[in-house]
Structure 1
Amino acid sequence: MIEKRIIQITISIIGLIFIVSHLIWPELKIDGITVILVVIIIVPWLAPLFKSFELPGGLKFEYHQLENATEKLIGAGWIKQVDSVETSKEHYKYSFLNVVDLDSNLALSDLRMEIESRLKDLAEHNSISIKNKGINQLTRELSTNGVLTYIESSAIIDILPFLNRASHGQEVDKKIHDWVIQIGPQILDNLEARIGEQKLPNLIDSFKKRDGGQGVELGYELSKYLIKSTNSFFEKMKKETFREWLDELENSSFTIYNADDEIEEQLKHAEMSKLKEMMLNSVNQFLEENSNNKEAKALQEKLNKIEIKSIW
């Protein structure tokens, strides 16, 4: 705030100098080139005041809003800075990465929709109305209600202009393309983790109280949350409950109970194969940082042995 005030005062003083100079030397003429050069000198000092500045002819100064948002997310513990722009295999679960090398605009638009979808999920779980609310307002309300911190919500709001411009077909440069690959999946990972932190306790409690056929449905939901919120899953699953879920895993998540025909059976088999692959990916990634976790090791062993079966 102090920095902004100093810059505003400085700009006002410069403006007054020009006015006084014109009054003292009215014959002094300032052409268009001089004005542009003066603006170029001043523009670098305007970053705290403006997000961007465009000169006649299309010369545009884009400030470091994206970098600032990234720093906020790093400070909040949401993301880790990455030097390489290669996409990690564990992040292929996010659909926007499938098109990022084909159409950066489409990827950014998809990322925006994925972020918005998760923010709505968080809002609904916390009894915050989502009716007629844009992503900006929703983000601010999540912060006001303590679901997101101020830094988290501020970072999300900072990146929205880039995502919005892409959805309107404006050109995406390589720097933003690389940012999408590096940072986008980490943002979604943390939103999924936040959702898991809030929803998993109720889901686990329902699984513990399951009756009959409920076990299959609830066990399958827990399998999906393992992928969505891996850290929260292992943190909140008590050993006894985890063991029960693991014992029933083949029946709840990898058994085809009914199908109208062989084609539907093959489709369900493909879906379960993908589920198994994604679960293994999540567990392997978790074990990279938690190599001594006994539950994760047991699940890894189980998934490597499990076979999809059909009993219809």
Structure 2
Amino acid sequence: MLRNITLIKTLTTLLAVVLVLIHIFFPDLKVDSITLGLLVVAVLPWLAPLFKSVELPGGMKFELQDFKEIEEKADKAGMFDKDIQPTNQIEYTFQLVAKEDPKLALAGLRIELEDKLRKLAYENDLDTKYKGLGNLLKILSSHDLITFEERSVLADMVRMLNAAVHCEVDRFEYSNVSWALELGIKILNSLNKRIK
């Protein structure tokens, strides 16, 4: 998978550089916004971790997947059960509204995550009343109910969900929301296993 991504990045960069060279070597063409746009496309795959989205002149917009890093961290932390295969079955209410209202679905995922974490704390006799989600994660981690790595993943996930819920509606594409929800469901399933 990583090899395929690197190959795609390399090919994209090479294609954009070749197009820039062709554009430059024609005598009647000058370095203009087209050349600059192609240069941006050439370096964009390598700078992806630094940006959430990039908008080029003329309204061309690239949405970069913010949740990819969270997914990799969650996998490294062992939060995904390899035995559970993804299904198309509706498990949570927020899945019902994902196509019609992506913002509401992401907010529902965030609420569901907090609910599972509070249940985990409650079942282990931890007082988390009047505690924010950050403090809740800290308490769960200090009582070894989640690892430090899992705490980091959950904090990142909640931060990204909060940011997504507060951004412009027109930035959402269903494929990105669907992918983020699938990641969230995997994390919820991991938390469900810890709740009695």
Q: What is the TM-score with the length of structure 1 in the denominator? A: 0.41
1:37 counterpart = 2:10: no
1:87 counterpart = 2:86: no
Give the conservation status (yes or no) of the 8 Å contact 2:98–2:174: no
Q: Structure 1 residues 64, 141: CA separation in 2 closer, same or farther (over 3 Å shift)?
A: farther
1:190 counterpart = 2:190: yes
For residues 139-188 of structure 1, give each alpha carbon's deviation from its aligned partner in whole angstroms, at most 9, with x where no partner exists: 35544553322332233233335522443352432323432563433322
* Structure 1 residue 86, shift from structure 2 partner: 1.4
Q: Structure 1 residues 153, 47: CA separation in 2 closer, same or farther (over 3 Å shift)?
A: farther
* Structure 1 residue 114, shift from structure 2 partner: 0.9
* Structure 1 residue 82, shift from structure 2 partner: 8.2
Give the conservation status (yes or no) of the 8 Å contact 1:52–1:60: no
Partner of 1:74: 75
Between the aligned residues of both structures, percent identity stands at: 31
Partner of 1:131: 130
Partner of 2:64: 63
Give the conservation status (yes or no) of the 8 Å contact 2:110–2:158: yes
Measured on the aligned residues, the alpha-carbon RMSD in Å equals 3.7
For residues 175 and 82 of structure 1, the distance between their equivalents in structure 2, rounded to whole angstroms, comes to 22
Query: Where in structure 2 are the equivalents of 1:86-105 lying within 5 Å?
Result: 86-87=88-89, 91=91, 94-105=92-103
* Structure 1 residue 65, shift from structure 2 partner: 3.4
Partner of 1:23: none
Q: Structure 1 residues 143, 59: CA separation in 2 closer, same or farther (over 3 Å shift)?
A: farther
For residues 101 and 137 of structure 1, the distance between their equivalents in structure 2, rounded to whole angstroms, comes to 32
For residues 52-106 of structure 1, give each alpha carbon's deviation from its aligned partner in whole angstroms, at most 9, with x where no partner exists: 2423545444434323322333341434498866126xx3xx3223333443322
For 1:116, give the aligned amino acid: E
1:178 counterpart = 2:178: yes
Q: Mind listing any 5+ residue stretches in structure 1 that lack a counterpart?
A: 1-28, 197-312
Give the conservation status (yes or no) of the 8 Å contact 1:65–1:159: no
For residues 118 and 136 of structure 1, the distance between their equivalents in structure 2, rounded to whole angstroms, comes to 14
Q: Mind listing any 5+ residue stretches in structure 2 that lack a counterpart?
A: 1-29
What secondary structure is seen at the aligned counterpart in 2 of 1:194?
coil
For residues 98 and 137 of structure 1, the distance between their equivalents in structure 2, rounded to whole angstroms, comes to 30
- Rg (Cα) greater in structure: 1
* Structure 1 residue 110, shift from structure 2 partner: 0.8
Q: Structure 1 residues 193, 81: CA separation in 2 closer, same or farther (over 3 Å shift)?
A: closer
Q: Structure 1 residues 188, 74: CA separation in 2 closer, same or farther (over 3 Å shift)?
A: same
For residues 60 and 82 of structure 1, the distance between their equivalents in structure 2, rounded to whole angstroms, comes to 35
Give the conservation status (yes or no) of the 8 Å contact 1:85–1:182: no
* Structure 1 residue 115, shift from structure 2 partner: 0.5
For residues 93 and 178 of structure 2, the distance between their equivalents in structure 1, rounded to whole angstroms, comes to 16
1:52 counterpart = 2:52: yes
Counterpart selection for 1:155 from 145, 149, 153 = 153
For residues 129 and 66 of structure 2, the distance between their equivalents in structure 1, rounded to whole angstroms, comes to 27
Q: Structure 1 residues 146, 65: CA separation in 2 closer, same or farther (over 3 Å shift)?
A: farther
For residues 44 and 66 of structure 1, the distance between their equivalents in structure 2, rounded to whole angstroms, comes to 16
What secondary structure is seen at the aligned counterpart in 2 of 1:54?
strand
Q: What is the TM-score with the length of structure 2 in the denominator? A: 0.60
For 2:130, give the aligned amino acid: K
Q: Structure 1 residues 151, 46: CA separation in 2 closer, same or farther (over 3 Å shift)?
A: same
For 2:151, give the aligned amino acid: S
* Structure 1 residue 32, shift from structure 2 partner: 4.7
Give the conservation status (yes or no) of the 8 Å contact 2:67–2:180: no
For residues 115 and 79 of structure 1, the distance between their equivalents in structure 2, rounded to whole angstroms, comes to 17
